[in-house]
Amino acid sequence: MDKNLKILYLNARSLKNKMEEVEIMINEEKIDVMVVSETWVTKNETKYYNFKMYNSVYATRKKRGGGLGIFINKKISFEVLEKCENTYSYISIKIHSPEVYLCGLYKPPSVKPKTFFEFLEEKLENLNKIGHDCFVLGDININIFKNNEITKQLLDVYTSNNFKMGNKITATRKTKNTSTLIDHIITNTNKKIKLNLKVSPLSDHLLQFLEILNENNTTNTTKYKQIYVTKYNTEKLKMKLNNLNLIKHLFEKPNELYEAIIDSFSLCSSIEVLKIKRNSEVWFNQELYKLIKQRNNLYEKTKKYPESEEHLKNYKELNNCVKKKIRTTKRQYYKTKFENADPKSIWETINEIITTKEKVQKTQVNYLTINQKNIMKEEDICEEMNRHFIDVGPSLASTISNIQTPITDVPNPNSMFLYEETITENDLSEIITNLNSRKATGHDNISVKIITC
């Protein structure tokens, strides 16, 4: 990845009723990775709370509340390193390009500090062994602004493992009477980073936008992506095919005929580069973007001027308008997709609505036990697994007794045959015309669309 890595940290206090608005925000802000604490999503619900353009990794809790989720843009390669779902919710992942180690953490308020510090010390020691460019984002539920023994011990754990706080100045949660910093971002990186905090109606905690800067970044992000499309000069193609002696070559030199047809298609084609809008298959639109932006501006005014009843009234009215607009826009989008759709498209849309698979952690095979002996070396493990799959077929076959009698004494009378006199030119033309033009091309790269034109 040549561009900067954009990370969003969100203390959601329930992600369930905010999915649509969060999806709109992360697409508009072009977020690469989002860490969400207090998802309030249970283990059985993880498949229902995901985003179309993102892979997800959840660390849930058995008790109500809490929980953690990391959502990674599908264009980014990553692997899950560790996941804890007991007292704490903890996830660590490795992003491959740029190589960054990213962790999410949620500590329940009821956990004693001493127990937590032991857990945190272990995790930071493991990260520190990796080296630089490690980030931990999470709801620690320890207010750094309190100058007491607990905060001193926490900061000692950070500094003793070469980590420092990236957000140690600004409060992450403000009310009329309190100002706290319990959502921490810590890192041991040498890279340049940029941190921006924003007020949002999505949470009573501030949103934290963390950008890891790539000094070699010279590319500009764009709302468009390029695709390559094969275009045919149909008139030229028809002339070339008409000049071929199809009947003579079909019976005398069919291989030469095939090569000539392929050459004709190739000579009459060209590659065009088209620009299409990114995320063109999402349900939200610019009108909704603008409405949400207006609502967010009003929300900021209610925080800046808490005594103003007019700002609060205007915000509530526009907030209700946004919620209604989201429902109607999304409903209309999917209604349009269902109308006149074939069964395959209908099921694709249903799966898009209700299912996004969580990223499955890959388990590495460290050893094999064969005949009570542990095989440790990687090459020996590969050899043993290869030998198993080679021998499994013959081994199973040797346990099956030979069948002496044939399965049937009478040949199947319903075998399929094509008789020349029953196939007409009209039959072939009808079959070709009814081919599905949406299917992928075969090994000859000739699409059904150009054949039927």
CA 274 → CA 267, 271, 376, 436, distances in Å?
Answer: 21, 10, 52, 23
In this predicted structure, what is the pLDDT of residue 140?
95
Q: How many CB atoms lie within 10 A of CB 46?
A: 20
Clarify whether residues 187 and 58 are in a common domain: yes
Report the sign of the C-alpha dihedral through residues 245, 246, 247, 250, in that order: positive
Which tokens is 376 given?
Answer: 């440790």
Same domain assignment for residues 206 and 63? yes
**One-letter amino acid identity for 402?**
N
Could you give the maximum distance between any two Cα atoms of the chain, in Å?
Answer: 96
User: Is 72 in contact with 78 (CB distance < 8 Å)?
Assistant: yes
- Compute the distance between CA of residue 135 and CA of residue 100 in angstroms, rounded to an integer: 8
> Does residue 401 lie in a domain region?
no
Comparing CA positions, the residue from 73, 37, 359, 347 lying closest to residue 172 is: 37
E-only strand ranges, 351-428: 368-370, 373-375
With respect to residue 188, please indicate whether it lies within any of the assigned structural domains.
yes
Residues 237 and 197 in one domain: no
What single-letter DSSP state applies at residue 104?
E
Continuous segment of H or E residues that includes residue 271: strand 269-277
Paired residues of 6 in beta bridges: 211
Return the H-helix or E-strand segment holding 72. strand 68-73
Residue at which a domain ends, from 338, 357, 374:
338
Do 146 and 292 share a domain, yes or no? no
- Asked whether residue 399 is domain-assigned, the answer is no
- Tokens matching residue 151: 């905060």
Same domain, 9 and 90: yes
pLDDT for 168 equals 83
* β-pair partners for 211: 6, 194
First-to-last alpha carbon distance for the chain, in angstroms, is 41
Which of these three, 188, 212, 236, is where a domain ends?
Answer: 212
User: How far is Cα 221 from Cα 223, in angstroms, rounded to an integer?
Assistant: 7
User: Tell me: the pLDDT tens digits for 147-159?
Assistant: 899 999 999 999 9
Q: Which of 234, 229, 228 is nearest to 452 (CA)?
A: 234
User: Within 13 Å of residue 224, how many CA atoms lie on the same side as its CB?
Assistant: 6
> Tokens 């264009």 sit at which residue?
75
**Same-domain check for residues 169 and 272:** no
pTM of the model: 0.69
β-strand pairing of 164-165 with 373-375: unpaired
Q: d(Cα 240, Cα 233) in Å, to the nearest integer?
A: 11
In total, how many domains does the chain have?
4
Same domain? For 142 and 110 the reply is yes
Per the domain annotation, does 343 fall within a domain? Answer: no
191 and 259 within one domain: no
Closest CA relative to residue 23, chosen from 56, 46, 51: 51
- Residue 334: inside a domain: yes
> Would you state the pLDDT for residue 228?
63
Residues 147 and 293 in one domain: no
Look up residue 390 and give its two tokens: 């080679």
pLDDT of residue 242: 81
- φ, ψ of residue 315 to 5 degrees: the values are -65, -45
Which parts of the chain sit beneath pLDDT 70? 1-2, 216-229, 246-251, 273-281, 355-366, 401-422, 438, 443, 453
In a domain, 329, yes or no: yes
Structural domain ending residue among the three candidates 277, 297, 319: 277
19-28 and 286-304 are packed helices; what angle lies between their axes, rounded to 10 degrees? 100
Helix axes 254-267, 234-243, angle to 10 degrees: 160
Q: Is residue 344 part of a domain?
A: no
Residue 216 has what pLDDT?
67
Q: What is the pLDDT of residue 286?
A: 87
Q: What is the DSSP letter of 92?
A: E
Is 252 found in the same domain as 134? no
Sign (positive or negative) of CA dihedral 339, 345, 347, 350: negative
* Residue 357 lies inside a defined structural domain of this protein: no
CATH number for the domain spanning 18: value is 3.60.10.10
Nearest 10 degrees: Cα torsion 282, 283, 287, 289: -60
> Which one, of 29, 22, 24, lies nearest residue 7 by Cα?
29
Judge if 32 and 64 occupy the same domain: yes
> Structural domain of residue 434, as residue ranges?
420-452
Residue 232: both structure tokens together: 């045919």
Q: Is residue 19 a contact partner of residue 49, using CB atoms and an 8 Å limit?
A: yes
Residues 269 and 192 in one domain: no
